[in-house]
Amino acid sequence: MVCQSPSSKMWVSLVSLLPLVAFALALPSKDCEHKVKEVIVPPRGWTIFGPAPPDHLIKLRIGLPQSNFDVLEEHLYAISDPYHERYGAHLAKEEIEELVAPHPDSVTAVNGWLSSHGIQEADIGRSAAGDWLTIRVPVQLVEKMLDTKYHIWKHTASGEYIVRTTSYSLPKDILDHVELIQPTTMFGTFKRLKSTIHSISKIDPQIQAQNLPPVFDSATGLTVDASCNTTITITCLRQIYNAVGYTPSAKVGNSIGIAGYLEDYANRADLQTFFADQVPAAAAVNATYNFVSVVGGLDPQDPAEAGAESDLDTQFAFGLSFPVASTFFSTAGRPPFIPDIGTPEDTNEPYTDWLDFMLSHPNPPLSISTSYGDDEQTVPESFAKRACAGFAQLGARGVSLMVSSGDGGVGDGDPDPATQECITNDGLNRTQFIPGFPASCPFVTAVGGTILFPEQAVDFSGGGFSNYFSRPSYQEAAVKGFLSKLPKGTYNGLFNPNGRAIPDVAAQSDFFRVFIGGQAFHIGGTSASSPTFAGFVALLNDGRLKKGLPSLGFLNPLFYSKAKSGFNDITVGNNPGCGTEGFNATVGWDAVTGLGTPNFAKLLKLVT
């Protein structure tokens, strides 16, 4: 039985909750024993700025245990294995929701607990499967519900503020009926993944292109314009990845999407300028993208508000895949909470809002890229695993999800031991490589970075091994081979040799010619490689759909088996960080460029 407050029957909807909170908290309540659900050590770099304002509103997300996720996972691996008889037999939205729906006992128990705090059904948002509950409540009520204390925390390096706690508890009667509650202990802010080394630089229009002979790569047998070694365009990518002359269709039900966050907006005028510069067929018909607002995401078209990340993502993903139906998802939320402007509500966690929306979407895009993430250790393991389960649900529906592997090499991008910042958050302050999330989720395709032609690994390419997720079976042979070639004792204790390995694949990631606010810029980072790879996946889906085959869906089991010969093996370069030179690119899979970069023509034959 859930602990009850004698005031629960007197309370009204949370619409009028704020004036009653002080009264409600003062009422006597039945003694209720709480037990700790989660506790963390504050992540390095975050310090307490002050107490959280009592009336500060928190969008509290309560995750109920997904009763049959293990069954869903079995389905996912069966339909993603190219040698399985069920390959490509993706599940329907309703089938997935049935598998992840919580047990009725959990629903009843949590409903009773919420009711005891005056929270009525009308105040609760429920996911399509009922496995996530969302309520908006002031800090002082959350503190009572979770027997905890919230503070404003400040990040020393960035100056960002968030409202969080380092532990929370639940009544013992519902402890096993709740998997996690956030925002509580999550200090990750899912920043844009642009390299701080090769970031954004304006292109000088006065510089004349040099008339150099084309470059030939004996390993791939491909010839590429010499200009591609200084500026990456759609033409360059099609040449480098053997897709010249391939024309996709707009009539086979194909689709591609880009996830945008943190008030970074795509600009249609910039897309038109880009098309005029690089995709004349799209410019000729004034092609554009479909805009979808997620929980109030905006679509301003003022050139001054054009976002570098969103312009990069949409221009290259949609430019490569034109005329495939394209969608830009703008999710509301801003990165920092500013404690001194009186903002009553924290809005810096849009990532899960996007995932909720996509899981409820009747027809999500078949190829999706997101270029946002954070250090794995800033994301509580419970949250990382639950979000990862959401990605698995998308994969089971036939969606391929690409994510950037990160821009810090094996951690902070710094090879100098004297200045490295790769310190664990477990209170032991050990030096350790820092993998990124969501790249570390085994149900996404993590995309690392390359540079130049012939290609080599770019030094900021995120790579390494997860501390949360064990190595999936589809990676076992490839990663064991890589580990067996490492010199004995190399980096002992710096990474988890049994973890999910990052990245899976790679693509060009520097000197991308992007138009922002009407002007041309060079942009670098794995935030470029992920939408690039997503564009080529959309072309592969085009080839399958033309033949009446289903979309590729979750890619990794295919890539590590039947399709591994469709990648260009990258064997030059490394990804320094954490006071080391990082890992080396080598023959076969490596923790810098994964399986390598796509050879589209080869992959197309392998998947059709």
pLDDT digits (tens, 9 = 90+) for 507-516: 999 999 999 9
The annotation status of 147 as a binding-site residue, yes or no, is no
Average confidence (pLDDT) over 57-63: 92
What pLDDT was estimated at residue 115?
A: 96
- Whether the predicted pLDDT of 424 surpasses 90: no
* Whether pLDDT at 349 is above 70: no
Q: Is the pLDDT of residue 23 over 50?
A: no
* Residue range(s) in the chain whose domain bears CATH number 3.40.50.200: 218-260+311-321+353-607
In this predicted structure, what is the pLDDT of residue 155?
Answer: 85
pLDDT for the residue numbered 10: 34
The catalytic position among 527, 529, 530, 551 is: 527
Q: What is the pLDDT of residue 192?
A: 60
* Number of Cα atoms under 13 Å in the Cβ half of residue 17: 23
**Cβ neighbours for 141, distance < 8 A, ≥ 6 positions apart:** 17, 21, 24, 25, 117
- Known catalytic membership, residue 527: yes
Q: Are 242 and 601 in contact (CB under 8 A)?
A: yes
Answer yes or no: are the C-beta atoms of 363 and 399 closer than 8 Å.
no
User: pTM for this structure?
Assistant: 0.91
pLDDT in the model for residue 199: 56
Establish whether 167 is a catalytic residue.
Answer: no
d(CA 522, CA 531): 16
**Which of 336, 334, 337, 364 minimizes the C-alpha distance to 351?**
334
- CB distance 492 to 370 below 8 Å: no
Q: Is the pLDDT higher at 419 or at 68?
A: 68
Give the mean pLDDT of 7-11.
Answer: 37
Residue 42 pLDDT > 80: yes
pLDDT tens string 436-461: 999 999 999 999 999 999 999 999 99
pLDDT band for position 22 (50/70/90)? very low
pLDDT digits (tens, 9 = 90+) for 185-234: 988 766 665 544 345 777 766 555 567 899 999 999 999 999 999 999 99
CB proximity list for 133: less than 8 A, separation 6 or greater: 61, 62, 64, 110, 114, 124, 125, 126, 127
9 pLDDT more than 80: no
Mean pLDDT score, 114-137: 95
Q: In whole angstroms, what is the distance from residue 593 CA to residue 453 CA?
A: 15
What pLDDT does residue 20 have? 37
Provide the angle, in degrees to the nearest 10, between the axes of the packed helices 93-100 and 381-396: 150
Closest CA to 579 of 456, 370, 396, 431: 431
CA-to-CA dists, residue 136 to 120, 125, 367, 573, angstroms: 12, 9, 33, 48
d(CA 287, CA 307): 19
Residue 327 confidence (pLDDT) above 70? yes
Distance CA(472)–CA(474), nearest Å, equals 6
Per-residue pLDDT at 18 exceeds 80:
no
Give mean pLDDT, residues 537-551: 98
Cβ 313 vs Cβ 535: under 8 Å = no
pLDDT of residue 196: 40
Q: Is 570 annotated as a binding residue?
A: yes
Identified catalytic residue from 131, 264, 309, 353: 309
Q: How far apart are the first and last CA of the chain?
A: 56
Phi-psi region of 102 (alpha: psi -120 to 50; beta: other; left: phi over 0): beta
Q: Is the pLDDT of residue 389 over 60?
A: yes
Q: How confident is the model at residue 332 (pLDDT cuts 50, 70, 90)?
A: confident
The active-site residue out of 97, 313, 356, 414 is: 313
Residue 269: count other Cβ atoms within 10 Å of its Cβ. 15
pLDDT of residue 576: 96
pLDDT band at 339; cut points 50, 70, 90? low
* Whole-number pLDDT of residue 162: 87
% of the chain residues with pLDDT over 70: 89
Per the annotation, does 588 bind a ligand?
Answer: yes
Q: How much is the pLDDT for 208?
A: 56
- The CATH architecture assigned to 218-260+311-321+353-607 reads 3-Layer(aba) Sandwich (3.40)
Q: Answer yes or no: are the C-beta atoms of 399 and 553 closer than 8 Å.
A: yes
Whether the upstream peptide bond of residue 303 has omega within 30° of 0, thus cis, is: no
Q: What per-residue confidence (pLDDT) applies to 14?
A: 41
Confidence of residue 337 (pLDDT cuts 50, 70, 90): low
373 is known to lie in a ligand binding site: no
**Position of tokens 């036939």?**
398
pLDDT at 25 over 70: no
pLDDT over 90 at 427, yes or no: no
143 has catalytic annotation: no
Buried b (16+ CB within 10 A) or exposed e, 233-248: bbbbbbbbbbbeeeeb
323 preceded by a cis bond (ω within 30 of 0):
yes
Average pLDDT for residues 422-427, to the nearest whole number?
Answer: 84
Average pLDDT, the chain: 89
Q: Which of 71-75, 211-215, 284-288, 581-585 bottoms out in mean pLDDT, i.e. has the lowest?
A: 211-215
Res. 49 pLDDT band, cuts 50 70 90: very high
